[in-house]
Amino acid sequence: MTTTALTAELQSFADTVVERKLKNGLTVLLIPREGVATVHFAFAFGVGAVDEPDGRTGIAHLYEHMAFKGTEAVGTKSWRKERPLLRKLDEMDGAMMAERARGPAADAGRLERLKKRFDRVEAQAEKLVEPNEFDAVYARHGGQWLNAFTSQDMTCYIIALPSNRVRLWTAMEGARVRMPILRQFYRERNVVIEELRIGRDSPQWRLYEELGVLAFTAHPYRIPVVGWLSDLQRMTRTDLEGFFRSRYRPDRAVIAAVGAIGKDTFKLIEREFSGWKVPGEPARPVVTVEPEQNGERRAVIHMQANPALAVAWPIPTWGHPDKAALDALSSVLGNGLSSRLHAGLVKKRRVAVSAAAFTEFPGERYPNLLTIMAWPRAPHTPAECEAAAYEEIETVTRDGVSPREVTKVANLLEAQRFQQLQDNTFMAAELAGAQATLGDWRTRLRWVGDLRKLTPDDVLRVAREYLVPRRRSVITLLPTGSPASTPAVPAASIDPLLPEHPDA
């Protein structure tokens, strides 16, 4: 891909970003903002759910939870006393798991004895814990929004502090990347399982989960970030420690600080993190390439909810010359109230209450999907929405798009870029995340320039090339109790367009 100049407004934003790199590969981004007395930190690691070993799905996200349990100093009354207890718990958990794995032959009496001993030791260990002290230390200094998130592509930790507390941040985070202690593991594992349950009860969440599973057969994007219940139930503390040691590395990490950046901000960061050693060779990145799809795939979800539809096609990602054109195509189809799907399905045909299109699900580090979603308006069905969506797509692949439409979506996407940068914590997470995931925080800013160079022919060409029936995956969510599948409705049976009112 050619390197594109930034637009004037994005250039003047980019000019405010100071980029430094430590010898161990850690990247530091400093973005000063005027008129504020706070610093908003994001600490991003180029490790996400895609990097999980087989049978350990959900480990990246579970680790993220455990990263709040403290260090050898923070979170404990005595690490020395705590340590042997944690080992013992791991051993007993392993013994219980092995016993359970024998299935019907498992010795129930032994399991019960083990569980009793386990509970006793866990209670002893619990007495040594200073619960949530990691949070308390930040809170005591006025820290806000302590949190973290894990995606397919990366993991990012955030906190905002009063501007004179940078040293607190470096001390806390320096310890967190060097000597994290994964205490209270067995309780936190249950917390994450409850998080999974919340997700699985939500129609939206299920739609995404099933779409990943259907559209990807080989690439790890097929697995939801939270992982599978059975894997979580068998995850061990040792698994997490191994994952942390190989994956959390300075050469895959990025710190972004936004706000009141002082003269000593970088020095403090450098002093803390320059001694963070690179732990040997990096783990092998994902090498699996999703095989080309050669036939439509369909699946149905039944839930106690109103119907929904998702259709997705595989597309390439950053670094591919079609990236910008595909994003523009997606916006032409379903970004905004004037987009083709909204205008066609919601406003004109009135078969849907909402319709949208987007790229970069399930992630953006690897080839992903151009997805359209529609929520049918009763009594209309997902099948009617699907037929109507295909007609809208056909008008694009047949007649193309106008130059005005291409300019419109470039404007819209540029504006949305700024919208995502206006909150200081979001800005930190966005830039650190882009650097950790894509290797360059400017990627998305340059992409706006790429969008500006697109012609209607570029958009037409990618529409014809990528949005083909044999490559699509279709998920239909239907209310519990409805027939297992709905017959595809021919386009002709869709409601005739409502007449435009003379007043309109």
Partner 1 sequence: MTDPRKLKFPRLEVKPREATRHVLRNGIVVHAVEDHSLPVVNLGILFRAGTIHDPADRAGLGSMTATAMRLGGSRLLPGDALDEEMDSMGSSIDTGMDDDQFSLYGWTLARHLPRELELMASVLREPAFPPEKVELTRLQELEMIQRRWDNPQQVASLQFRRAVYGPSSPWGRLGTAAQAKAVTRDEMVSLHRAFCRPETAIMTVAGSFETAALLRDLERFLGDWNPGPATPAPVPEPGGALPPGIYLVPREIGQANIRIGHLSIELDHPDHCPLKLLDMVLGNGTFNSRLFRDIRTKRGLAYSVWSRIQPRALVPGTFTIGCGTKYETLDEALPAILGHVKDLRAREAADDEVKLAKDQLDHGLAFEFQSAWSVAWRAAWYEYSGLPADWLMREREGVLAATKADILRVAKAHLHPDKLILVFVGDPAKCRPALERFGTVRELPIPDQSSG
CA distance 419 to 442: 16
Residues 259-278 that bind partner 1 (CB under 8 A): 259
Q: Name the residue nearer to partner 1 (CB basis): 308 or 462.
A: 308
Mark 406-434 as b/e (b = at least 16 C-beta within 10 Å).
bebbbebbbeebeeebeebbbbbbbbbbb
Q: Is 101 in the site for partner 1 (CB under 8 A)?
A: no
Which span sits near partner 1 by CB under 8 A: 50-58, 262-270, 355-363, 409-417? 409-417
Return the structure tokens found at 365.
Answer: 């580090």
Nearer to partner 1, 282 or 336 (CB): 336
Minimum distance from residue 334 beta carbon to partner 1 (Å): 11
Looking at residues 379 to 408 of the shown chain, list those that interact with partner 1 (rule: CB under 8 A). 404, 407-408
Q: Which of residues 35-74 bind partner 1 (CB under 8 A)?
A: 35-38, 68, 73-74
Environment class of 229 (CB within 10 Å of its CB; exposed 0-12, middle 13-18, buried 19+): middle
Nearest to 397 by CA among 315, 467, 343, 325: 467
Residue 84 CB, shortest distance to partner 1, in Å, is 21
Question: Which residue, 117, 169, 181, is CA-closest to 141?
Answer: 169
Residue 405: φ, ψ to 5°:
-65, -40
Q: Are strands 297-303 and 473-479 parallel, antiparallel or unpaired?
A: parallel
Name the one range near partner 1 by CB under 8 A: 78-86, 92-100, 141-149, 486-494: 141-149
Residue from 97, 468, 497, 498 in contact with partner 1 (CB under 8 A): 498
> Identity (one letter) of the amino acid at 275?
G
In the stretch 327-366, what mask flags binding to partner 1 with x, by CB under 8 A? Answer: --------xxxxx---x--xx--x--x-------------
Residue from 46, 58, 143, 250 that binds partner 1 (CB under 8 A)? 143
Q: Does residue number 476 form part of the binding site for partner 1 (CB under 8 A)?
A: no
Q: Does residue 27 touch partner 1 according to CB under 8 A?
A: no
d(CA 290, CA 219): 5
* Binding residue (CB under 8 A) for partner 1 from 17, 136, 299, 488: 136
Binding residue count for partner 1, defined by CB under 8 A: 95
Answer yes or no whether residue 195 interacts with partner 1 by CB under 8 A: yes
213, two tokens: 């599973």
Min CB(169)–partner 1 separation in Å: 9
Q: Which of 480, 484, 493, 496 touches partner 1 by CB under 8 A?
A: 480
CB 54 within 8 A of CB 268: no
Position 131 contacts partner 1 (CB under 8 A) = yes
Q: Does 132 bind partner 1 (CB under 8 A)?
A: yes
User: Using the rule CB under 8 A, which residue among 162, 282, 316, 400 binds partner 1?
Assistant: 162
**Minimum gap (Å) between residue 469 Cβ and partner 1:** 28
Q: Is 252 in the site for partner 1 (CB under 8 A)?
A: no
- Which residue, 66 or 474, has its beta carbon nearer to partner 1? 66
Question: Please, what is the minimum distance in Å from the beta carbon of residue 272 to partner 1?
Answer: 9
Among 82, 414, 450, 458, binds partner 1 (CB under 8 A): 414
CB of 309 to partner 1, least distance (A): 14
Neighbour count for residue 441 (Cβ, 10 Å): 23
**Residue 503 backbone class (left: φ over 0; alpha: ψ -120 to 50; beta: rest):** alpha
The order of strands in the sheet holding 144-150 is: 18-21, 27-32, 253-259, 38-45, 155-162, 144-150
Per-residue contact flags (x/-) with partner 1 for residues 417 to 456, judged by CB under 8 A: -xx-xxxx--------------------------------
Question: Could you say which of 26, 62, 168, 324 contacts partner 1 (CB under 8 A)?
Answer: 168
- Pick the closer one to partner 1 by CB: 335 or 368: 335
Q: Check binding of 140 to partner 1 (CB under 8 A).
A: yes
Write out the two tokens for 236. 């061990």
Phi and psi, residue 169, nearest 5°: -60, -45
Rounded to whole angstroms, what are the CA distances from 215 to 256, 319, 470?
34, 22, 12
Q: What is the DSSP letter of 180?
A: B
Residue 182: both structure tokens together: 């994964």
Name which of residues 174 to 193 contact partner 1 (CB under 8 A).
Answer: 174-175, 184, 186-193
* Separation CA 462–CA 314 (nearest Å): 12
Handedness of CA 68, 71, 74, 80 (dihedral sign): positive
The residue written with tokens 């849907």 in the block is 352
Q: Judged by CB under 8 A, which of 214, 305, 488, 491 binds partner 1?
A: 305
Q: In 3D, which of 79, 88, 80, 98 has the Cα closest to residue 118?
A: 88
What amino acid occupies position 374? Answer: A
- Does position 501 bind partner 1 by CB under 8 A? yes
Name the residue nearer to partner 1 (CB basis): 201 or 296: 201
C-alpha distances (whole Å) from 295 to each of 37, 44, 142, 471 are 56, 38, 56, 6
In the set 102, 197, 267, 470, which binds partner 1 (CB under 8 A)?
Answer: 197
Helix (H, G, I), strand (E, B) or coil at 28: strand
